Chain A
Amino acid sequence: MTGYILRRIVQAIPVLIGITLASFLLIHLVPGDPARIILGARATPQAIADLNHQLGLDRSLVAQYGDFVGGAVHLNFGESIKQNTAIGPLLGSRIGVTLFLLLYAVIISIIVAVPLAIVSALRRNRPADHGIRLFSMVTFAMPSFLLGLLLILFFSLKLGWLPTAGYGDTLSEHVKSLTLPAITVGLYLAPILLRTLRVGIIETLGTEFVEAARARGLSERRVVLKHVLRNSLISTVTVLGLNVGFLLSGLVIIENVFALPGMGSELVNAILARDYPMVQALTLIFGVAVVMINLLTDLIYAELDPRVRL
């Protein structure tokens, strides 16, 4: 086990270094002088020199990289150029929205995908299965921004049940505001979960311990709920963990569609506004978070299923 953990951690290191390098080099790879792009064509040479100094761009690359990584470890990401505030505390106030949405979306995704996967696996190649397949094809092909707009159209504008945008102030307002975004992201994730689970359940149904459970005279319901499902839930967690990167792209888009004050909309706004330090910070945070979650998932999975460690 220790060997596996070590091997897995060692594997993650080059990826982490790659992420720090990519987000660090970003500002240097922008064609032209970043300070001039930020300040516009009419900036004085003095202003450009000042901004270059403020960004630390007048120092050696190695020193800059050291500062970048060193600062990031202490959650110090420098200052946002457009918003003139320290990035760390600003993102601190945004992260809650994103995490809340992530959790809410995952719950909805599980509520949708798990029952459908069970039905689909039990009624394999029957009309119910075909119907569920079609549902998962449509949700898979549906761009999340379109689904978001359609939900706004029906639930907010036609029915007036839920707000169209924003985050609100109280907890119940937060829940209300995040319901449509969470449904959107949840449905975006659901087909991936559904299809993997379906295959998993079909496989489990063919195993000997299920046969044994049936032979002991357990009802089909009990076999499915207690034996098959319990086994498949482990794979659900794994699929979720490994698809966190996919989930993240959904979050980034949907936060924008619903104008939520989260890290995803911050990232898109920063790119559009050429707020490079902000883009660097968010690239780094998202990248590291995804790698860490993938790593954790693998370790948890190995803990639960010893065969993986071989």
Chain B
Amino acid sequence: MSAGAIPAVAQSAATRLRKRARAERLWSSFTLWLGVGIVAFIAFVSFAAPLLGFHNPNEQHLLDALQPPSRAHPFGTDALGRDILTRVVYGGRIDLTFAFVTTIIPFALGVLLGCWAGYRGGWLDTVVNRLVDIVVAFPFIVLILAIVTITGPGLKGAYIGVFAVGWALYARLTRGEMLVEREKEYILAARTLGYSPRRIVMRHALPNVLRASIVFSMADVVLNILLLSSLSYLGLGAIPPSPEWGALVADGKDLILTAWWVATLPGLAIVVTGVAFSLIGDGLADRLGRDFTLTTGGEADAGGR
């Protein structure tokens, strides 16, 4: 069609719309890659800490106690003269490892269960579904505090709690997607070709039912970091002198009036990391073409926490 056939007004409106759509796409990739960049930077600094000149997070210099941020100590020092930036950097190892492990394992487990339950149906589906209902309805914070009571303060309780509960939402999300997916023609075609259910589920359906779970996992990472840091803040998670981020904030809470940097700068690390993961989640949601939010798939999921 020649351009002349379209009225000028419609043409300019169409150009405007196209321009806006392009701007939105650019913005969305920018925020996505910004998130990826921040996360990569924090992970790199934490795990390569000794190479970057950050040495012992517990090294005390009592004469340098409670120094405000300066060139020598960009985040200042705490009541024992420990360099707070070094502690935050090493704390990143604890929080990022926790967040990674407590997201990826429930993710894998939940997606696999949800996939098979959705594809197979029958008793497997009924069992998985009932289990998910019970786990999701169980108030998470109550469960985790009960577990911490049993295990005593430490990371163990937090790990056990998340493993016990985390898989359920992934299973629910994946099962829901699978119920739709398994009726689609390419699956029927694969079945007609005589492929094994294993091959159909793992090779054909799986990549297509992951979207909701991937997007939710980014919110899940944030929730898991918040969980660990909150427990540590309350004295129920990481044990001093561990430089876990929430524990660092707790260290500084009574100094907030005299030395604001002790509590707030480690707290900032939590916020920046969380926002970075949320940016990734948002960008992925845009890319995967659906308006998933923190509360995808039945609002109860964030409520699980």
Which A residue's beta carbon lies closest to that of B279? A137
- A218 touches B (CB below 8 Å): no
Residue of B140, B236, B273, B293 with most chain A CB atoms under a 10 A cut-off: B293
Which B residue's beta carbon lies closest to that of A272? B235
> Is A138 a contact of B271 with CB atoms below 8 Å?
yes
> Is B299 a contact of A287 with CB atoms below 8 Å?
no
Which A residue's beta carbon lies closest to that of B131? A14
Which B residue's beta carbon lies closest to that of A138? B275
A157–B264 alpha-carbon span in the complex (Å): 15
A90–B110 alpha-carbon span in the complex (Å): 41
Known: A142-B271, A249-B230. A239 touches B299 (CB 8 A): yes
Interface string of B23-62 (1 = CB under 8 A from A): 0100100000000000000000000000000000000000
Q: Which residues on the A side are within 8 Å of B267 (C-beta)?
A: 143, 146, 149-150
> Is A144 a contact of B264 with CB atoms below 8 Å?
no
- B142 touches A (CB below 8 Å): yes
- Which of B139, B249, B299, B304 interacts with A143 by CB under 8 Å? B249
B residues touching A (Cβ–Cβ < 8 Å)? 24, 27, 130, 133-134, 137-143, 145-146, 148-150, 153, 219, 222, 226, 229-230, 233-236, 246, 249-250, 253, 256-257, 260, 263-264, 267, 270-275, 277-279, 282, 291, 293-295, 298-300, 302-305
Closest 4 CB pairs of A and B: A141-B274, A249-B141, A146-B267, A290-B139
A residues touching B (Cβ–Cβ < 8 Å)? 11-12, 14-15, 18-19, 22-23, 26, 29-31, 125, 130, 133-134, 137-138, 140-146, 149-150, 152-153, 157, 191-192, 195-196, 198-199, 202, 238-239, 242-246, 248-249, 252-253, 256-257, 267-268, 271-272, 276, 279, 283, 286-287, 290-291, 294
- 22 intermolecular pairs with C-beta atoms under 8 Å apart: A14-B134, A18-B138, A19-B138, A29-B150, A134-B275, A137-B275, A137-B278, A140-B294, A142-B270, A142-B274, A143-B230, A143-B249, A143-B271, A145-B249, A146-B249, A149-B264, A153-B257, A157-B256, A192-B299, A249-B305, A253-B230, A276-B149
